[in-house]
Structure 1
Amino acid sequence: MKIRYLKNKEINLKSWDNCISNSFNGILYAYSWYLDILSEGWEALVYDDYKIVMPLTKKTKKGFSYLSQPFFTQQLGVFSSEKLNAEIVENFYKSIPRKYLLIDINFNSFNKINFQNVEKNIRKTYLLDLIQDYECIKKNYSKNAKKNIKKANKYGITIRNSVVPNDLINLFKENVNLKEFKEKEYNNIRKLMSIARRKKIGMFYSAYTKENNLCGASFFISIRNRVFYLFTASSKEGREKSAMFSLIDNFIKSNSRKNLTLDFEGSNVEGIERFYRGFGSIPSYYTNVRKNKLPKFIKFFMKF
């Protein structure tokens, strides 16, 4: 199969987005507007007039080009409006230009990875189908989740379906503040919030104490019948009063009986994973692929 490598300016964005929209495995992270924000200058592999595509989320460090998974893009890989099998996925992988000496990317859950000579790590997200009515969904909550929802109610936690974006970002900075997050990442999430609002696909929920203090907030994006739990934060008081249990429960109640799937986006932290499972969500698996062809002295002196 003849797969074309395209630089950013050579990509037909309309054809690209049509492919993602028509793909059986199309996902939020693969739309051009989303990639433009999170992976400036991204490139692409394209087959047969955009029937099958794969984004290349490139970076450069000390003159070396490499592919990595940008923040807020859980899984990418190969997307197709037609059939998709392990051989096609492998052909796309083998078409990645040789200039990328390090590859560290997540393929999507519909990409079967059979190729060898790479490091493969299975990762997971948690999905919750919202099509049933609220009472049916709630039956699958864990005892711990139900207990914490009651706890939040006891403390008078109230939930609203709005929040000022900067208030959510500041809440994150003050209470989470991941060291990997630089000002660039905060600017990117602001851009995502802004464009999601403009496209009317953004959803905001917030939790307040009895004293009307913001103690938790979340940003979701809803697209293609899937809602992504994209960015969230809670204060110390919010954690002590189980505010996020109440927030998610309220979100589920408000969006039950809709043809939607809530994607919690997964976590390697046991406590967070337990929180997601507590609402009856089930795991969905995808594969991280890593191959490092950097010269040995570069591997030794530089952290990639």
Structure 2
Amino acid sequence: MINKLKYHEIDFQKYSHCIENSVQKNFHARMEILDELCEKWELLIFEDYRFVMPVPIKEKFGFRFVVMPLFCQQLGIFGPEKNPVIEQKFLDYLQKHFRILTYSFNFQNSFDSKLKTKKNYWIQPTEYLQLRKHYFKGRKSTVKTAQYLHFKEFPLSQNIDFINNNFKGLDKKNDQEKFLRFLHFLDERKILRIFGSCKDSDLTNLAIVIEEETNFSLLGLINDERFRDDNGASFLIDRILKEHISEKSFSFMGGNIRGIEVFFKSFGSQLQEYAVIENSVKDLMAHFFKK
């Protein structure tokens, strides 16, 4: 039986134990990350926290909706094993009891119900020279021609202006401010790494990475368009992989836009598809008022 808990009802010790020991273990499902990114969140549980499912909530137009927060790619169901039967129970409960604008499960969840999927690309820990054999031919060539660039790691404080001037993908000023607050949040917890490529004294590209014990997750790849022809993004990803892929996996955190998908695939990464629910406010409200 699935039970729903309001935030103040959650036993966070049991919740954290479930997340940290789950086969689907996910950075974004940690309590402190959800607290930072979500306006509100609640929890679905099965058998006294044997399986759990965090549910981000946003209030809009006087109604409560499930909405995935910015900078959070996957949530879903977490437990000691993969269990499609139990996972389907969570899905059924979610769809019956919540108005869902957007919700992303994790790539290890599976269901009898047919859901839309999105793409992520991921590289498991491996020897760099073995991985390099799986680069696309054109990517190998691009990386080779960019070796005149310099690789450097930077503190966040040195890159605020570069990020503000060159970050693409967030149209609203409020969302850009949220992104910077999240970077400071990660930096304070010492899980933020910022790598850059430089041409002489000019910074050409930045890779913003979340570092965990066993993996890296790419939060942002920021490019100065004046240096597009220098292929700094290719150089930068290759150097990060060269220095770290033998010890940590690397998640590209996305891949649904064709050009970006090809870029991620070209480093020998593997496809991970994850199920999503997406509805428009208009459709949800039309359904609500028909009841």
* TM-score for both structures, normalised by structure 2: 0.89
Contact conserved, 2:207 with 2:220, CA < 8 A, in 1?
yes
Contact conserved, 1:65 with 1:99, CA < 8 A, in 2?
no
Could you tell me how far 1:11 is from its partner in structure 2?
Answer: 1.8
Which of these residues, 112, 115, 128, is aligned with residue 114 of structure 1?
Answer: 112
Contact conserved, 1:128 with 1:280, CA < 8 A, in 2?
yes
In structure 2, list runs of 5 or more residues that go unmatched: none
1:228-243 pair list within 5 angstroms: 228-243=217-232
Q: Give the match's secondary structure for 1:69.
A: coil
Contact conserved, 1:172 with 1:232, CA < 8 A, in 2?
no
1:197-216 pair list within 5 angstroms: 197-210=187-200, 212-216=201-205
Deviations 1:52-103 (A, max 9, x none): 110111112111211122221111111112x332221121123338563334
Deviations 1:9-53 (A, max 9, x none): 222223222211000111111111111111122111122332211
Q: Pick closer, same or farther for the CA change 1:166–1:46 going to 2, 3 Å.
A: farther
* Matched residue, 1:302: none
Q: Pick closer, same or farther for the CA change 1:283–1:165 going to 2, 3 Å.
A: farther
Q: What is the aligned residue count? A: 287
Q: Distance in 2 between matches of 1:97 and 1:127?
A: 29
Q: Pick closer, same or farther for the CA change 1:108–1:256 going to 2, 3 Å.
A: closer
* Matched residue, 1:161: 153
Deviations 1:198-231 (A, max 9, x none): 4333221011111x12211111112252211112
Q: Is 1:125 equivalent to 2:120 in the alignment?
A: yes
Q: Distance in 2 between matches of 1:256 and 1:295?
A: 47
* Greater mean deviation of Cα atoms: 58-67 or 85-94: 85-94
* Matched residue, 1:96: 94
* Matched residue, 1:175: 166
Q: Give the match's secondary structure for 1:257.
A: coil
Contact conserved, 1:238 with 1:244, CA < 8 A, in 2?
no
Could you tell me how far 1:254 is from its partner in structure 2?
Answer: 0.9
Specify the code of the residue in structure 2 equivalent to 1:295: M
* Greater mean deviation of Cα atoms: 190-199 or 37-46: 190-199
Q: Distance in 2 between matches of 1:152 and 1:37?
A: 38
Q: Distance in 1 between matches of 2:267 and 2:217?
A: 15
Identity %: 26
Deviations 1:212-258 (A, max 9, x none): 12211111112252211112210113322100111111101111321
Q: Distance in 1 between matches of 2:156 and 2:213?
A: 25
Q: Is 1:19 equivalent to 2:8 in the alignment?
A: no
Q: Is 1:151 equivalent to 2:145 in the alignment?
A: yes
Could you tell me how far 1:131 is from its partner in structure 2?
Answer: 2.5
Contact conserved, 1:157 with 1:209, CA < 8 A, in 2?
yes
* Matched residue, 1:283: 271
Report the RMSD for the aligned CA atoms in angstroms. Answer: 2.4
Q: Pick closer, same or farther for the CA change 1:180–1:46 going to 2, 3 Å.
A: farther
Specify the code of the residue in structure 1 equivalent to 2:208: F
Q: Give the match's secondary structure for 1:102.
A: coil
Specify the code of the residue in structure 2 equivalent to 1:157: L
Q: Distance in 1 between matches of 2:271 and 2:228?
A: 24
* Matched residue, 2:33: 34
Contact conserved, 2:221 with 2:233, CA < 8 A, in 1?
no
Contact conserved, 1:171 with 1:234, CA < 8 A, in 2?
no
Contact conserved, 1:4 with 1:47, CA < 8 A, in 2?
yes
Which of these residues, 254, 262, 272, is aligned with residue 274 of structure 1?
Answer: 262
Q: Pick closer, same or farther for the CA change 1:256–1:224 going to 2, 3 Å.
A: closer
1:235-274 pair list within 5 angstroms: 235-258=224-247, 260-274=248-262
Q: Distance in 2 between matches of 1:106 and 1:289?
A: 7
Specify the code of the residue in structure 2 equivalent to 1:46: I
Deviations 1:127-177 (A, max 9, x none): 112322x22221221121122112322xx321112243572x543443343
Which of these residues, 273, 284, 287, is aligned with residue 294 of structure 1?
Answer: 284
Q: Distance in 1 between matches of 2:102 and 2:138?
A: 36
Contact conserved, 2:156 with 2:187, CA < 8 A, in 1?
no
